[in-house]
Amino acid sequence: MYITGITDEDFVNYKIPSLFISTATCSFKCDKECGRKICQNSELAHIEPIYAEDDWIISRYLQNPITHAIVFGGLEPLDQMFGTCELIIRLRERGCNDDVVIYTGYNKEEVWDKLKQFFWSNRFQRTNLIIKWGRFIPDQQPHFDEVLGVNLASDNQYAERIF
């Protein structure tokens, strides 16, 4: 998959130490809906994406005794849905059932059918998958999300354990 960066030990985006994968594409739907540039990650769009093999990412993760989850974020992981889901499936094939978190700006109804179909068609009904749903809306008070164990920026954003 194409990424703009990787953080081996992230303690900010999930309640347990995680490998953070910064994805490389986004439609900037939050900016479009808001009518102005509001994306906190827009600078990532100026970084030259690199292609990272799934096995390289997975090996890097599995060799680190500190991390116990993988978090996808940065730009929009579900704009590379196939790549994101493939990495998760390969992780499961290696016998790792650690939590995987996807930070998406999509609302659940926009991508749920596609996402559900991808995992069910690959026989991975139980994947310890957590998704943070919802676009960023400026000028709202952050609120604590119990599932992630972190503050989210907008009232409409929430995380749920999917599978």
Sheet hosting strand 50-51, strand order edge to edge = 50-51, 2-10, 18-23, 69-73, 99-103, 129-133, 158-161
Number of domains observed in the structure of the chain: 1
Mean pLDDT of 89-113: 93
Q: What percent of the chain has pLDDT over 90?
A: 64
pTM for the structure as a whole: 0.90
Task: Supply 147's token pair.
Answer: 């599932």
Segment 8-66, tens digit of pLDDT: 999 999 999 999 999 987 766 766 666 767 666 767 666 789 999 999 999 999 999 99
Q: What is the mean pLDDT of the chain?
A: 89
Domain assignment of residue 46, given as a range:
2-161
